[in-house]
Each structure stands twice: as structure tokens, then as C-alpha cells.
């Protein structure tokens, strides 16, 4: 089964026939992609926007991303784009008071944007990793420092305040890979709490968690896990009963683990092993690691997806794989998401999983998964055609739609920024369901060589939550030639740092 594309009303209704029954397996409809932001800065020779995160609440979706990527880490600012009408129209801009490039911020660079919404306090948040570059007028030397996790707040997702600190070590320090979420379940005893996770690379990637109960204005002291575990790339999610579950890689990204809090972030459990991580090295020196992507549905079931090659002979390509839990302690065996048959040689990486929280508990969950892929894993140069695709499920991941390509052309390598770990579209990608049941993915894309821009999709009017699903046909993706970008890789550091 190959990736399919149709320029009109994509995936409005897909199904597979099993015996005499029709099993619905798609949950996304869209007509075309649309650019929602581009890099306006002149300090970098290459225009880039990479690594989006998204969050939705009702008909509003907010995304945040790096703008003006530096090759050795961080970006000029964090951009944002917000739709208040289920993705039909967008507002966009750049966070104020964060870096020196926008409204007098104090930091030289910024990275790792994560979006959350606090329903109790009516506040949107973007947390990010603040960086000094060790040059200019900074009162220290010795190279880049990443001493602070900060959060920018907004009541409408459009007008943003100057940031406050979640945690700061001053002007020197080493923090990385923050992620923020809020407890938006009125049934929870901790409704309105928000949680931010990060790690400290120079302290062996030790995990830290901080909690806010006032809409992100103030944050508690960072707390470790009960076993003082190390980790990287955690994505906390909150169940309706208030339990916080944090899937996270270990410090070497050799294993996937999790830990929980059942007391509103006052304490955190020891880590539990989910599985080992076994990933294929992606061709053309693309910067990507098997970082987890996590979501939770209205029943409290948590889904974690990552790239993994265990189902492919000789680890020849990455599949999208998934594990689930209802308590954060006991996890299902790893399952392969069948975007293509085993052995197809399609390489999948950088996933973003989303669940439709509006589907009531007790009904089959709607899921959407967006990812980058190569049609041919063993590729080089112009054979490596980097694209974005989405698959969907209407039965909690028991069955999945055919993959739908979010764009007709491959990403232009001339637009992809180089980093010390390879060319980069982002360490993660994201998608969120809005009020009409449509999943809106946001992704970095370029086909004109002028730079990577942020893109989403233009949804069709129909609600996928109420569609009657029937099979459709579609046309093959049309491809364009791209050129390779040779990037030297630095030796792997003892402890991973991925800003």
C-alpha cells in the first residue's frame, strides 16, 4: 500500500471491508495544505521555521515553533499561529520579550516550543528553552548556555505577554527538552494544575518536573522522579482522574520508560520500563531520534507512538509503533501501525499522535497520526524525497486508514537547515483535533527552496465525528527532484542534548 494523495476533499471517507461489515478507519478530512507562517527575520541567511507543537481547545488551535534556526542550536524566536475557527483562518506572529530579536527579550536564542491550555484559568501557554550564546555583551564566556525554562501566556492565543520563568539557573546552566501540559478535566481533583518536564544534560540528563496552580504565573521547585532517573523527550499527559503520566526516553534513548504522579505533582514515582528502543538510522543525515509522542483520550487511555525498526528485517526501515496504558505502570506490547506492509521499504519518522478528547468515554477513540517519511528508506541524494503524511483511526488504533500525503511535492533540501546533528525539520511534529472532529496537523514544509515554513491543512466542512464512511480512490503522489545537503555530524556526546 503506497502513500496516496488527492487534491480535493482528501480522505473524506475511508473504510476497509471485512467480511460483510464495514469498519471505519479514517478520522480526518482536508482539501489542501496552507501556509500559516513564514520566517520574517534577516539575521539568518536561511529562512527556517521548524519543530511545531500544537494544542487545541474547542474551535481554537494554537501552534508554536522555532523561527530562524541556528546550526549549533536554538533559534531567533518562537513563532505562533492560531486558528479560532477550526482551521479555516489563521493569525500568526512571534513571541514578544523572549529574545533580543523581538521586543527586547533578554535571551540570545530560544528552542523547544511546547503549547498548553489551562481551561480553569483560561490561559494559553508556550513553554520554551532559553539560551545564551556566550558572545556579545553577556557577562560570561564559555559557549552556549541553556539555563532557563520560560513560559509565555495569552488569554486568546493571539496577544502574548512577556515570559515568566518556570525555572532558571541564572545566566549559566544546562537544561533541555521541556514539555508542558495542563489538567483540563473538571472531574480531576487537580483541575487547573499545569506540569512542565525537562532534563539537565550536564547532570546526566536527570529528569525534573515543576507544577503551577495559578495559570502559569508561578511554578514550584523542580522535583525528580523517586529513583532520580535520567531521561529525554518526555511528554506528560493528564488522565481525567488527575493522574499525570510521563512517557520519556532514557538518557541514551535506548529504552522507553514512564513515571506518574497521583497527588497533583507533589511527588513523582520511580520510572517503569515500557520497552527498548530500536530505530533505523534515517538516510541523508536527517536529525531524528526515537522520541515518544503521547496523547490521552477521554477515557484516560494513554497512547504513545515512536519510530522503530523491530518489525522490519535487519532493521531496514522505521515503522510507526504504539503502546498504550490506562495507569502509566502497565503497558501493552508494542504494536506496529500498518501504514504500509512490512518490507515496503518506506521509512517513517518524527511522529505526532493526537486523540479527539470530545469523543465520550466508552465510545471508540478517534486518533490521528502525522509523520515524515521517505518512500524509499535506503536512499541518498535526490532519491531521498522527504514528505509528510497522516493516518487515522476511529477505533482506538485497532485499525487505521490508508496514509494521506499532506502535499504533492517532496521537501526541498535546499530549504532544510543544517545542524550539528544533521539536517532538521524538527525533533517532533504535531496534530490536534478541533471542535468539529477534524485533526489539524502542523508541519514544516518547503518546495520552493526559499525556506521552511509552517503549514497546516484546509479542512472540509464535514465533521468526521458524524461521517458515514465509504471507500474512496485517490491519485499517486507526484514527486519533484531534490538535492542532497552534506552535513558533517559531531561525535555523540555522553549525555544527549537536543535543543
Per-residue pLDDT of the chain (499 residues; tens, 9 = 90+): 344 333 332 332 222 222 222 233 334 456 678 999 999 999 998 899 999 999 999 999 999 999 999 999 999 999 999 999 999 999 999 999 999 999 999 999 999 999 999 999 999 999 999 999 976 554 443 589 999 999 999 999 999 999 999 999 999 999 999 999 999 999 999 999 999 999 999 999 999 999 999 999 999 999 999 999 999 999 999 999 999 999 999 999 999 999 999 999 999 999 999 999 999 999 999 999 999 999 999 999 999 999 999 999 999 999 999 999 999 999 999 999 999 999 999 999 999 999 999 999 999 999 999 999 999 999 998 789 999 999 999 999 999 999 998 877 899 999 999 999 999 999 999 999 999 899 999 999 987 777 899 999 887 655 445 433 322 223 222 222 222 222 233 334 345 677 8
pLDDT of residue 134: 79
268 contacts: CB under 8 Å, gap ≥ 6: 209, 223, 224, 225, 226, 246, 259, 260, 261
pLDDT of residue 461: 59
pLDDT of residue 107: 97
355: left (phi over 0), alpha (psi -120 to 50) or beta: beta
CA distance 297 to 239: 8
Instruction: Please give the DSSP secondary-structure letter assigned to residue 14.
Output: -
CA distance 395 to 355: 11
CA distance 169 to 165: 10
Nearest to 351 by CA among 304, 398, 404: 304
Q: How far is CA 112 from the centre of its chain?
A: 10
Q: How many CA atoms lie within 13 A of 420 on its CB side?
A: 12
Which parts of 88-240 are beta strand (E)? 91-94, 109-118, 123-132, 145-154, 164-168, 176-182, 194-200, 206-212, 237-238
374 contacts: CB under 8 Å, gap ≥ 6: 282, 283, 346, 347, 384, 385, 386, 387
CB atoms within 10 A of CB 334: 19
Q: Report in angstroms the alpha-carbon separations of 359 from 60, 268, 272, 286, 427.
A: 17, 29, 29, 36, 29
H or E element at residue 248: strand 244-249
pLDDT of residue 457: 87
pLDDT of residue 495: 55
pLDDT of residue 30: 61
CA distance 32 to 458: 5
45 contacts: CB under 8 Å, gap ≥ 6: none
Amino acid at each position: 500500500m503506497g502513500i496516496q494523495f488527492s487534491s480535493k476533499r482528501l480522505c473524506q471517507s475511508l473504510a476497509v471491508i471485512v467480511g460483510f461489515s464495514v469498519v471505519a478507519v479514517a478520522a480526518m478530512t482536508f482539501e489542501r495544505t496552507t501556509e500559516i507562517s513564514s520566517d520574517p527575520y534577516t539575521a539568518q541567511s536561511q529562512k527556517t521555521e521548524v519543530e511545531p507543537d500544537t494544542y487545541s481547545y474547542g474551535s481554537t488551535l494554537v501552534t508554536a515553533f522555532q523561527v530562524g534556526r541556528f546550526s549549533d542550536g536554538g533559534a531567533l524566536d518562537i513563532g505562533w499561529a492560531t486558528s479560532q475557527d477550526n482551521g479555516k483562518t489563521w493569525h500568526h506572529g512571534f513571541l514578544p520579550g523572549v529574545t533580543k530579536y523581538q521586543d527586547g527579550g533578554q535571551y540570545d536564542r530560544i528552542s523547544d516550543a511546547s503549547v498548553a491550555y489551562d481551561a480553569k484559568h483560561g490561559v494559553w501557554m508556550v513553554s520554551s528553552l532559553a539560551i545564551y550564546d556566550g558572545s556579545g555583551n553577556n557577562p560570561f564566556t564559555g559557549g552556549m548556555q541553556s539555563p532557563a525554562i520560560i513560559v509565555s501566556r495569552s488569554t486568546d492565543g493571539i496577544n502574548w505577554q512577556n515570559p515568566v520563568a518556570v525555572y532558571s539557573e541564572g545566566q549559566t546552566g544546562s537544561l533541555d527538552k521541556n514539555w508542558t501540559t495542563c489538567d483540563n478535566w473538571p472531574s480531576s481533583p487537580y483541575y487547573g494544575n499545569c506540569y512542565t518536564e525537562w532534563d539537565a544534560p550536564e547532570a546526566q540528563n536527570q529528569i525534573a518536573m515543576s507544577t503551577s496552580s495559578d495559570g502559569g504565573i508561578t511554578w514550584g521547585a523542580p522535583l525528580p522522579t523517586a529513583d532520580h532517573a535520567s531521561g529525554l523527550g518526555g511528554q506528560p499527559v493528564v488522565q481525567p482522574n488527575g493522574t499525570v503520566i510521563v512517557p520519556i526516553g532514557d538518557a541514551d534513548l535506548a529504552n522507553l520508560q514512564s513515571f506518574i504522579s497521583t497527588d497533583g505533582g507533589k511527588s513523582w514515582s520511580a520510572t517503569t520500563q515500557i520497552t527498548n528502543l530500536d530505530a533505523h538510522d534515517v538516510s541523508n543525515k536527517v536529525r531524528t531520534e526515537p522520541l515518544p509522542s503521547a496523547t490521552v483520550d477521554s477515557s484516560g487511555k494513554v497512547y504513545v507512538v515512536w519510530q522503530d525498526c523491530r518489525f522490519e528485517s535487519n532493521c531496514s526501515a522505521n515503522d510507526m509503533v504504539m503502546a498504550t496504558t490506562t495507569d502509566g505502570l502497565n503497558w501493552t506490547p508494542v504494536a506496529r501501525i500498518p501504514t504500509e506492509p512490512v518490507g515496503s521499504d518506506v521509512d517513517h519518522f518524527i511522529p505526532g499522535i493526537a486523540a479527539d478528547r470530545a469523543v465520550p468515554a466508552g465510545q471508540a477513540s478517534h486518533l490521528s497520526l502525522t509523520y515524515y517519511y521517505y518512500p524509499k528508506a535506503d536512499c541518498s541524494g535526490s532519491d531521498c524525497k522527504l514528505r509528510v503524511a497522516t493516518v487515522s483511526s476511529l477505533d482506538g488504533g485497532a485499525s487505521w486508514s490508508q496514509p494521506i500525503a499532506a502535499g504533492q511535492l517532496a521537501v526541498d533540501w535546499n530549504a532544510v537547515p543544517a545542524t550539528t546533528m544533521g539536517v532538521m525539520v524538527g525533533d517532533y511534529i504535531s496534530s490536534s483535533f478541533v471542535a468539529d472532529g477534524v485533526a489539524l496537523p502542523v508541519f514544516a514544509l518547503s518546495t520552493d527552496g526559499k525556506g521552511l515554513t509552517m503549514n497546516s491543512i484546509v479542512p472540509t466542512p464535514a465533521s468526521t465525528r458524524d461521517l458515514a464512511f465509504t471507500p474512496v480512490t485517490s491519485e499517486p503522489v507526484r514527486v519533484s527532484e531534490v538535492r542532497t545537503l552534506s552535513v558533517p555530524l559531531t561525535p555523540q556526546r555522553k549525555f544527549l542534548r537536543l535543543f
